[in-house]
Amino acid sequence: MEPKVEPEGVSRFDGLAYKPGELIVYSSPLSPQSAEAASLEARLGVQKIADLREPGWHLYRVPAGKEEQLAQEIVASGLAEYAQPNYSYKLLYTPNDPYYTTVDVTGSQELQFGFMGVENAWDELLPGGCRPIVGVIDTGVAYDHPDLIENVIGGYDFSDNDADPYPDVSDINNPNDSDTDNFHGTMVASIIGAETNNSQGMAGVTSNLAYIMPLKVFPNSYSSTIASAIDWAVDNGANILNMSMCIQDTDGTCADLTSSPDATIEAALERAYNSGVISLAASGNYDQSFVGYPASSQYTIAVGATDNSNPPERADSTVWGTGYGSNYGDDLDVVAPGTDVLGAVIPSPTDPEPYMWGYGTSFATPYAAGVMALYISQYYAYSQGSLPDPVTATNCIRSAAEDLGTAGFDIYTGMGMVRADNMLDTATNAYGCY
C-alpha cells in the first residue's frame, strides 16, 4: 500500500454526477476552529450540516450551482485543506425481465458453482471455522425472505437514517419493480448467504457459514452516505464488505477515477483495510476499458464478470447487449460468473418466496465475497482462531484463481476465475493461502 497522504486541494467536478447543494471537506487539526471557522463559514455563505464518522470529514450545505466555486473558496480561505462534491453512486446490474420461480433451478447454480469449485470447497471445510460477517452496502435486504431469514443480522439504513435496512417498497404487490432497483441488495445478499440444504429456492455460496449485515445506502447513494456505512460496518464487526456499485458519470455510466479516487470513500476504505476488513467491489457494466470506483481503489479487490461458456470468458456486449459488458483494465483482480445469476428478491403477498435472474458485475462480486467468507472460516479453523489480513486474503484470491485467456494476468479477466476449492486447500497449501 502507498503511504497515507492527507487530501488537499479541490477534487474533480467536471463530468461527474453529484448531489446539488452539498460539499464534503476535510479539515486537519491545524484548520481554523470554533469561532474562527464560524466566521469563515458566514463570510463564504456555507453551513456545516454534519460531521462524518471518519475524523476530520464534514458535510456542508452550499448554494446549488455554486459547488465548484465554493469548494475553491473554502480551500483558499483556509477553512479546510480539501473539498469535493458529494459524489453519486449507482448500482451495477443490467435489468432483465424478472423471472420468478420456485422450481428446481440448481442446474444453473450447479454450473456456476462448478466454475468456482464451490461444492469441492464445501467438502474441504475444516471443523472449528467461524461465521464471517459480510456487510452488503446496497439497497437494503429483505430479511423476511424464507431463504435469508436465518442468516441476516442487524444493520442500518444510512439512506433514511434509521435502524431498519429493509428495501424501500412503494407497491407491496409489485416490490421488485425493475424501475426502482429495490430488489438489488436482496439478490446480492442471497448469492452470498441464502440458506443451503433447506429444500427452498436456491443455495448461497457460503452454505450457512456467513452472516449478512445489511447496510442500506440507496437511493441516497452519495459519498457521505457510503463512507458512513463503511465506518459503521467496521465498528460493528464486519469482516467483509461487498460493494456492487460505481461512482457515476453525468451520462449514467461508471466514471474513471483511476488517478483521482473519491477521497471521502478512500479514507473510509483505508480505515477498513487497516482494521482487517476485506472489501470487494464490482468493476462496472459498461464495457469500458477501466475499472470503476471503488473497485479501482488500492484497498479493494476488483471483481469482473464472465459468461457461462466453458471455459468462461469475459462477459462483453455480445452477451449483455450493446453498450454493456464487464469493465476491464489494469486494476482488475479476478472474475466470477455474472450472467444469468439467480437471486432472491423481495417477498409480496402474492409471491412470498420470489426469485429473479440477473446479470452484471453486481452479481459476480457477491460470488467472490461469498468465496472469501468461506476462506476466512477455513483460515480461522486452520490457524485455530486467527483471521487473514487483507494482504493475505487478496494474495490468496489472486494466486488461487484459475487462469483464463492469456497466461498470467490480463486486463480482461485479471488473474482469472475465483476458485473456492483452491483457496480452501489446506492439505497442500499450493497457493500460499495459509
Mean per-residue pLDDT, 401-430:
96
Is 377 a known active-site residue? Answer: no
- pLDDT given at position 94: 54
The per-residue pLDDT for range 20-66, each reduced to its tens digit, is 999 999 998 666 667 788 899 999 999 999 999 888 999 999 999 99
* R_g over Cα of the chain: 21
pTM of this prediction?
0.91
- pLDDT given at position 31: 64
Q: Write down all domains in the chain, each with its CATH number in brackets.
A: 9-87 (3.30.70.80), 91-423 (3.40.50.200)
Determine the Cα–Cα distance for residues 285 and 92; give it in Å rounded to an integer.
Answer: 6
Mean per-residue pLDDT over the chain, rounded: 92
Look-up of cell digits 469548494: 71
Q: Give the cell for residue 124.
A: 474441504
β-pair partners for 417: 335, 402
Is 162 a known active-site residue? Answer: no
Mean per-residue pLDDT, 303-307:
97
Determine the Cα–Cα distance for residues 417 and 429; give it in Å rounded to an integer.
Answer: 18
Catalytic residue (one of 256, 362, 421, 425)? 362
The per-residue pLDDT for range 118-167, each reduced to its tens digit, is 999 999 999 999 999 999 999 999 999 999 999 999 999 999 999 999 99
Is 184 a known active-site residue? Answer: yes
The total of other beta-carbon atoms located within 10 Å of residue 272's CB is 23
The dihedrals phi and psi of 423, each to the nearest 5 degrees, come to -70, -30
Mean per-residue pLDDT, 190-199:
91
- pLDDT given at position 4: 67
Residue 249 Cα to chain centre, angstroms:
18
- Asked if residue 269 lies in contact with residue 297, where contact means CB atoms within 8 angstroms, the answer is yes
- In sign, the C-alpha dihedral spanning 397, 218, 298, 337 is positive
Q: Give the cell for residue 209.
A: 457459514
The per-residue pLDDT for range 64-106, each reduced to its tens digit, is 999 999 999 999 999 999 999 999 999 886 544 333 233 333 3
User: Could you tell me the pLDDT band of residue 110, with boundaries at 50, 70 and 90?
Assistant: confident
Catalytic residue (one of 11, 138, 157, 228)? 138
Catalytic residue (one of 11, 27, 58, 184)? 184
pLDDT at 177 over 80: no
